[in-house]
Amino acid sequence: MKVTGVTCHILQSKVEKPFVSARGWVYATRASCIVEITTDEGITGWGECYGPAAVNRTLIETQYAPRVIGRDPFDVEVVWEDLYNRIKDYGAQGFSITALSGIDIALWDIMGRAMAKPIHKLIGGAYRRSVQAYATGLYFIDMDRLVEEAVEEALAYKEQGFRAIKMKIGLGDPKLDFRRVAAVREAIGPDVALAVDANHCFSVPQAIRLGRMLEPLDLLWFEEPISPEDHAGYAEVTRTLDMAIAGGENDFTRWGFRDIIATKAMDIVQPDVCAAGGISELRKIATLASAFGVECVPHAWGSAIGLAATVQFLAALPDQPPAFRPLPPMLEFEQTPNPLGDLLATVPIVQRQGIVTVPDGPGLGIEIDREILNRFKVA
Ligand SMILES: [Mg+2]
């Protein structure tokens, strides 16, 4: 089998209620670079790249596509190494890897379709047929009702059956952050797990101070307390606080994660399959993490394609650590309305009572709705 074409679709949709995280960016639209790879056997595979779509498309069209066309999709890691080594002098991290991730995912989708097997059966097999999802939400929307809106949203997730929720923090006032998290914890009770995500808005002392305030609230993890470049700072926060420290959605490849994992600078690493290098590279990052006793719980924030790739990867990820009653790695399931997530697959991946069934169709296990693709395509 040979690749005959690599096409990038830039999809964009409006967000009904714009929302804000600790980085202060208002999310008024959602956009994504979707990668479609065709073959001479009529099999088409789909991938997705994290981050600004136009840059990903330019990288793929100018740097990668000419080197992928004519290749056998089953040489997926050979292709990965070739593309990475072609680009690493100019970009061993960031866009060059997010663009590469989209190609890698599409090649795995093709292999799965060619074998009539879901991807997780090609990367080790099904450790689980369903994954526990945690609801990502509780952004900052109404600045006059920050505590009330968080409580209402969290209760709605609990009502839907979610057993775990992740909320945003980083309001520039540790007392307000604490009040908001404490109100949510009190509202949802002790049996729903609660994580907080600061989107790297704190300094080391600020993170430690707020972390100590939050620790009595029994949090699942404290995500991205500080800036992703500061690995030594992560190690300091991780050693100082008792609660688990998570991060890694802005890190890339096995080399980018190597020192974080080997120094245990984080308790939990969160590589994104659409950013850190695709399914091929996430397997390597997860293996590194396992070797050093670090948990791997992937980050996910994209369209139905990124979500499906994450679910396939999670199905084949061993329990960390194995146990009589293990705590399996959870699926990040964002809850802010996103048509690219809800509509792009003909049969969307949904949660019921906080549980997502792993699709067992070939490849990613979803089919792309061309009409929706064309409706949201802007370039
Ligand atoms: Mg995050």
104 CA distance to ligand 1 middle (Å):
23
Distance CA 32, CA 62 (A): 18
pLDDT tens digit string along 235-269?
999 999 999 999 999 999 999 999 999 999 999 99
Residues labelled catalytic: 299
Residue 321 is predicted with a pLDDT of 87
CA 298 to chain centre: 5
Environment class of 118 (CB within 10 Å of its CB; exposed 0-12, middle 13-18, buried 19+): buried
CATH number of the domain bearing residue 95: 3.30.390.10
Q: How many domains does the chain have?
A: 2
Same domain, 27 and 151: no
Query: Is the pTM value of this prediction over 0.95?
Result: yes
Give the model's confidence band at 105: pLDDT under 50 very low, under 70 low, under 90 confident, else very high: very high
In a domain, 364, yes or no: no
208 CA distance to ligand 1 middle (Å):
18
- Between 200 and 326, the more confident residue is 200
- Under a CB-based contact definition with an 8 Å cutoff, are residues 277 and 258 in contact? no
| Range list of H helices, the chain | 53-59, 65-68, 76-87, 95-115, 119-122, 146-160, 174-188, 204-214, 231-240, 253-262, 278-291, 304-315, 339-342, 370-376
Same domain, 225 and 349: yes
Give the model's confidence band at 25: pLDDT under 50 very low, under 70 low, under 90 confident, else very high: confident
Distance CA 166, CA 334 (A): 9
Same domain, 106 and 183: no
- Using N-to-C axis directions, what is the helix angle for 76-87 and 95-115, rounded to 10°? 170
197 CA distance to ligand 1 middle (Å):
6
In a domain, 87, yes or no: yes
pLDDT tens digit string along 306-359?
999 999 999 999 998 888 988 889 999 999 888 898 899 999 999 999 999 999
Environment class of 88 (CB within 10 Å of its CB; exposed 0-12, middle 13-18, buried 19+): middle
> In this structure, are strands 193-197 and 222-223 parallel, antiparallel, or unpaired?
parallel
Range of the domain at 100: 3-116+370-376
Same domain, 288 and 182: yes
In the sheet where 3-20 sits, what is the strand order? Answer: 3-20, 26-39, 44-49
Same domain, 101 and 129: no
Angle ∠(325,330,335) on CA atoms, nearest 5: 140
The residue type of 370 is R
Distance CA 216, CA 182 (A): 9
pLDDT surpassing 80 at residue 61? yes
Residues ≥6 apart with Cβ < 8 Å to 142? 149
In a domain, 363, yes or no: no
- Under a CB-based contact definition with an 8 Å cutoff, are residues 158 and 188 in contact? yes
137 CA distance to ligand 1 middle (Å):
10
334 CA distance to ligand 1 middle (Å):
11
Give the model's confidence band at 38: pLDDT under 50 very low, under 70 low, under 90 confident, else very high: very high
Percentage of the chain modeled with pLDDT above 90: 92
In a domain, 262, yes or no: yes
Distance CA 36, CA 106 (A): 7
